[in-house]
């Protein structure tokens, strides 16, 4: 070949090569550690129920300061329209809220300083708040911090009424945390929830999330299901027991038998199209002593 007719050799400046290499490194580092979830249905509502764990130091090495970035990253990956928290405190809100600028919060006043417990994050892009409130899980649901004698602690339900700007529909979101110590107390608390379900207009989609501290075989969960609520996980995966959601920060190393106790329920106006137990971890550490759970709910007929 005539040297004069050969194509000139492309020369890339060294500085440009270094810049491209640095960019490639940054892109690799920016790759998501946890797979980002996507909506499966055009009008699907992605919901996460997350017992975030109190701020106490009962389990050394798993204090909030040591797991807050992990909790944030796992939650961001869910691409949720609604995140329903339990054991949520001001320090959780202070850290997480800046990472969720497109979300508003709702809760029910429970405790000193008008603390809002069982807090719900909801997407401002998807929803408009109509009303927030709640009721106590006792024989006097309107009485501040009332409880059943069979319950070891005061518990409540946060209620949130939203307008779905995508569909124009109203949506009811309830988030709760049943008693941690006594099944008779949980059974009575579930009875209060079912009494409110019965008062809910049949035309309104309703979802109920939370840490129920008991499995599908208990009276509490049976009563909720018998009063028109569907367990999203069982609807998608079948009736078998999927295994624990509480794991004491040990993940699959937690040896004690324990059923799934965290749930996303919905009434007949919502249809579960996906459901998962979120077992994400980092270097053997977990965002909470519970696995978070998720579901995607589409509107039914």
Domains, the chain:
40-299 (3.60.10.10)
CA distance 272 to 280: 22
Burial code (b: 16+ CB inside 10 Å, e: under 16) for 235-254 equals beeeeeebebbbbbbeeeee
Q: What is the pLDDT of residue 235?
A: 98
| Residue 183 host element (H or E) | helix 183-199
CA distance 235 to 79: 21
Indicate whether 31 pLDDT > 60.
no
pLDDT digits (tens, 9 = 90+) for 166-217: 999 999 999 999 999 999 999 999 999 999 999 999 999 999 999 999 999 9
* 117 close to 158: Cβ distance less than 8 angstroms: yes
- Which residues, at least 6 apart from 163, have a Cβ–Cβ distance to it below 8 Å? 127, 128, 130, 169, 170, 171
Give the mean model confidence (pLDDT) for residues 41-60: 92
In 3D space, the residue among 265, 82, 262 whose CA is nearest the CA of residue 162 turns out to be: 82
CA atoms within 13 A of residue 159's CA, in its CB half-sphere = 16
Q: What is the pLDDT of residue 86?
A: 98
Give the mean model confidence (pLDDT) for residues 92-117: 94
3-state helix, strand, coil in the chain (%, to 5): 25, 30, 45
Q: What is the pLDDT of residue 242?
A: 95
Q: How confident is the model at residue 254 (pLDDT cuts 50, 70, 90)?
A: very high
* 238 close to 21: Cβ distance less than 8 angstroms: no
For the question of whether the overall pTM of this predicted structure is more than 0.85, the answer is yes
- Which residues, at least 6 apart from 39, have a Cβ–Cβ distance to it below 8 Å? 46, 79, 296
CA distance 64 to 40: 32
Whole-number Cα distances in Å, 293 to 105, 205, 233, 252? 19, 20, 9, 16
Indicate whether 21 pLDDT > 50.
no
Indicate whether 8 pLDDT > 60.
no
Indicate whether 2 pLDDT > 50.
no
């Amino acid at each position: 070949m005539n040297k004069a007719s050969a194509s000139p050799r492309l020369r890339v400046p060294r500085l440009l090569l270094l810049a491209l290499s640095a960019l490639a490194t940054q892109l690799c580092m920016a790759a998501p550690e946890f797979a980002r979830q996507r909506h499966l249905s055009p009008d699907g509502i992605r919901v996460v129920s997350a017992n975030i764990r109190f701020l106490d130091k009962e389990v050394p090495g798993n204090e909030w300061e040591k797991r807050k970035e992990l909790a944030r990253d796992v939650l961001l990956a869910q691409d949720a329209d609604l995140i329903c928290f339990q054991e949520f405190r001001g320090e959780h809100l202070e850290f997480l809220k800046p990472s969720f600028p497109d979300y508003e919060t709702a809760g029910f006043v429970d405790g000193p300083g008008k603390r809002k417990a069982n807090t719900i994050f909801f997407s401002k892009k998807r929803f408009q708040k109509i009303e927030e409130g709640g009721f106590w899980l006792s024989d006097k649901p309107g009485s501040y911090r009332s409880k059943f004698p069979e319950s070891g602690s005061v518990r409540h339900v946060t209620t949130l009424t939203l307008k779905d700007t995508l569909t124009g529909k109203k949506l009811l979101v309830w988030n709760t945390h049943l008693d941690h110590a006594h099944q008779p107390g949980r059974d009575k608390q579930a009875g209060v929830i079912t009494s409110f379900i019965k008062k809910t207009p049949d035309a309104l989609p309703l979802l109920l999330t939370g840490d129920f501290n008991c499995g599908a075989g208990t009276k509490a969960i049976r009563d909720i299901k018998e009063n028109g609520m569907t367990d999203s996980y069982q609807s998608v995966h079948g009736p078998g027991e999927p295994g624990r959601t509480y794991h004491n920060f040990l993940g699959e190393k937690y040896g004690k038998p324990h059923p799934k106790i965290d749930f996303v329920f919905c009434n007949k106006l919502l249809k579960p199209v996906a459901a998962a137990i979120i077992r994400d971890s980092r270097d053997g550490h977990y965002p909470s002593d519970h696995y978070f759970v998720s579901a995607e709910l589409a509107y039914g007929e």
